[in-house]
Structure 1
Amino acid sequence: MLKIQYLVSGGIITNYKCSSKCKHCCYSSSPKWPNDYMTPSMADEIFAVLKRLGCDAVHIGGGEPLLQPDKLYGILDAAYRNNIGIEYIETNASWYKDAASAKTILKELKGRGVKTLLISIDPYHNEYIPFWKVKGLIQACSAVKMNVFPWQMEFWDEVDALDDHETHSLDEYIRLYGEDYPVRLMSRYGLNLKGRAFMTYRPFMKKQPVDQILKESKPCGLLSGIYHFHVDLYGSYIPQSCPGFSIPVKELVSGADPDKYRIFNSMESVGIRGLFELAEKEYGYTPKNEYAGKCDLCYDIRNHLVLELGLDLPDLKPEGHYKYI
């Protein structure tokens, strides 16, 4: 049985729709996603499960959770009902219009126990969000005494060197800071190279023969990790550092059937070789000669199953993770 008996720290993905399509996004969020949002009843169900598993507080993110603040309030109310604390809410500040309207929303958040906003500060977001919005939101937080968790402050001067009323592509940053800027940016940010982030940086990665990757196969321990997990708006448990895999969190509590979640189980119990052999034998998968490591091969297999074959597999959800990359 695939089972989790204890969880330490994690987050809630209220929605995948986002105002941005950032190159570093491991969840493949973008404006193309459906406008779905977690319901209060789903939040109640999730928070009750997390509480039983020993998780007393979560952070909230997306997508961009504040695209629909009225729906976010319902999630916060559900957290209060279940005695779950909110560590912070992640936001890219795209929703900021003016100080007055921002303060109204911030006061609603404070009234529901939110003490901190994590506000994104980096060149990836600046491709879609002019920096004046970030500055304005920080000032609004200060006015209502909302704490700010700037992520990450070390990029402030680099972003602020450009016109803050315009968005700026990574090409502009390259012209300003050098050809190797994207690679330096990756290491400084501490990216989780999954989803769109992996596709962005795949060209910079060393390739390996597929036989070598399979020979070095080991069980993927991250899939059963209890730190930095996420649960999304559909009630799916998103494993530590590995979006695109999912199992309903309520099933994991009682024990999920490995025969039902064969893709997940093959990776968690055997590793990339297990997934490869399953895909080759049952789904006609044919590999390329080389890949940028096991994660590249894993994504290629999953894309084959979800996009090329159009399979509706319970452990490869949501499909948008693959469609909107």
Structure 2
Amino acid sequence: MTLHVDRLRSGGLIATYQCQSACPHCLYRGGPGRSPDYVSQEMAAACFAKALSLGCASMHVGGGEPLADPLGLAGVLAAAAETGMHLEYVETSASWYDDADEAVELLTELRAMGLSSLLVSLSPMHNGFVPLRKTLGVLEAARTAGVAVFPWQEHFLADVQAFDPEATHPFAAYLERFGPNYPAEILRRTWIHLGGRAFDLFAPVLGRKPVEAILAEASADCRRELADASHFHMDLYGDYVPGLCSGLACRVDDLGAPLDPERYPILTTLAESGISGFYEYAAALEEYQPLPGGYVNKCELCQDIRRHLTQRGWFESTELAPVEFYAAL
């Protein structure tokens, strides 16, 4: 039985993968080196319409940095109004903030277009690229403009306030101040999906296991995770990210019906036989060799297999997308 996503609950639209920050926990490996491509109003409307047709009545807008292109964001807000999609919030790292008056003016204009709420990232990981001054500046500007705000996650404020608010501080500075077990404390305090860059950030406290142990512990299939639509994402290219598995994709247009196994061999293999089947598939056809240092979990193994496939020029499907995701692996 192939993968079938026929119901969407709550999710977001990735407006761009470009971001001033390159946070060490970023699931989608956003950063300044990514393409500046931004979702068009037409694509946003198509994604919203598909989500609505599958039962999802509200979404958020994320990235990358959605406010890196205010005109592009205005198009997303227009697409939401056009389709009747309720936008819960727009995410921002506050990297774009420069001047208080300019920020208030921009957010006031966007509020008139439909921006009602802003999620402002606040964490030690973001502080490596965004000074606390900018974060607090965006929070204040939004309140002045009449845009609701919620810092994500506010419980990190005391940690970040231990440093100079005018400067950025790499994560190594937090390790030096709070100790080598600080990443483990972060995982106890907040939920972070282990994917993208997060494997390297948390591996020192979680440890890595040899491939044999990963395969022995893994379930027979990954169908439940891939079909989970409780917090889904669509992106600017018209791709749907199954189960928060960044770097894996199916076309938004193909949602609502069973995926064609010939068009989606990787997703089909994972859904039917799990990471063990995918590992055997890659080892037999593409001479994949596991890393001697092992993996945090089956998801890191899966990501590494997919990295290997892209380096081998594997173009049997469009599932390994966006290709830029794998460039830095």
Offset from partner CA, 1:42-86 (integer Å, 9 cap, x none): 112111111111111101100000000111100110111000000
Partner of 1:323: 327
| Residue 244 of structure 2 corresponds to residue 245 of structure 1 | no
Helix, strand or coil: the match of 1:167? coil
Structure 2 CA distance for aligned equivalents of residues 209 and 171 of structure 1: 27
How much does 1:116 deviate? 0.9
Moved more, 126-135 or 173-182: 173-182
- Aligned partner of 1:298: which letter? C
Find out whether 1:29 has 2:30 as its counterpart.
Answer: yes
Please tell me whether the aligned partners of residues 27 and 195 of structure 2 are also in contact (alpha carbons under 8 angstroms).
yes
Q: Secondary structure at the match of 1:231?
A: strand
**Cα distance in 2 for residues equivalent to 1:16 and 1:76:** 18
Determine if the alignment matches structure 1 residue 59 to structure 2 residue 60.
yes
The equivalent residue for 2:233 is 230
- The answer to whether the Cα contact below 8 Å between 2:94 and 2:121 also exists between their aligned partners in 1 is yes
1:215-226 correspondence to structure 2 within 5 Å:
215-218=216-219, 219-220=221-222, 221-226=224-229
Q: Report the alpha carbon displacement of residue 292 of structure 1 after superposing the two structures with TM.
A: 2.8
Post-superposition offset of 1:191: 1.1
- How far off is 1:3 after superposition? 2.6
Offset at 1:235?
0.7
Change (3 A) 1:171 1:217: closer
Output the CA distance in 1 between the equivalents of 2:279 and 2:91: 36
Q: Tell me what 1:99 maps to.
A: 100
Count of matched residue pairs: 324
Q: Is there any run of 5+ residues in structure 1 with no aligned partner, and where? A: none
Structure-1-length-normalised TM-score: 0.95
Give the corresponding residue for 1:311: 314
Deviations for 1:76-131, whole angstroms, at most 9, x for unmatched residues? 10111000000000000011111221112211221122211000111101000111
**Conservation of the 8 A alpha-carbon contact between 2:181 and 2:205:** no
Contact 2:6 2:54 in 1 (8 A): yes
Question: Would you say the 8 A contact 2:195–2:300 is kept in 1?
Answer: no
Q: How far off is 1:176 after superposition?
A: 2.1
Q: CA offset at residue 286 of structure 1? A: 2.2
Against the structure 1 CA distance between its residues 107 and 324, is the aligned structure 2 distance closer, same or farther, given a 3 Å change threshold?
farther
Misfit runs of 4+, over 4 Å = none
The 2-side partners of 1:178 and 1:187 are apart by 15
What CA distance in whole angstroms lies between the structure 2 residues aligned with 1:16 and 1:173? 26
Q: Give the secondary structure class of the aligned counterpart of 2:255.
A: helix
The residue that corresponds to 1:277 in the other structure is 280
> Where do 5+ consecutive residues of structure 2 fail to align?
none
Structure 2 CA distance for partners of 1:87 and 1:287, relative to 1, 3 Å: same
1:131-162 deviation per Cα after TM superposition (whole angstroms, max 9, x unaligned): 11111111111212211111011111111121
Structure 1 distance, partners of 2:139, 2:297, is 40
The CA distance in 2 between the partners of 1:279 and 1:175, in whole Å, is 40
Distance 1:10 1:134 in 2: 24
2:297 aligns with: 293
Aligned equivalent of 1:18: 19
CA 1:254–1:295: 2 relative to 1, 3 Å: closer
Once residues 175 and 199 of structure 1 are traced to their aligned partners in structure 2, the CA distance between those partners, rounded to angstroms, is: 18
Contact 2:108 2:146 in 1 (8 A): no
Distance 1:111 1:182, change over 3 A: same
SS of equivalent residue, structure 2 residue 155:
helix
CA contact (8 A) 1:122 1:155 kept: yes
The whole-number CA distance in structure 1 between the counterparts of 2:207 and 2:161 is: 33
Other-structure match for 2:192: 191
Matches of 2:181 and 2:211, distance apart in 1: 28
Task: Read off the aligned partner of 1:24 and give its amino acid letter.
Answer: H
Tell me, yes or no, if the aligned pair for 1:26 and 1:198 is still in contact at 8 Å: no
Query: What TM-score results when the alignment is normalised by the length of structure 2?
Result: 0.94
User: How many angstroms apart in 1 are the aligned matches of 2:136 and 2:46?
Assistant: 36
> How many angstroms apart in 1 are the aligned matches of 2:208 and 2:197?
18
CA 1:297/1:65 → structure 2, altered by over 3 Å: closer, same or farther? same
Which residue of the partner structure matches residue 213 of structure 1? 214
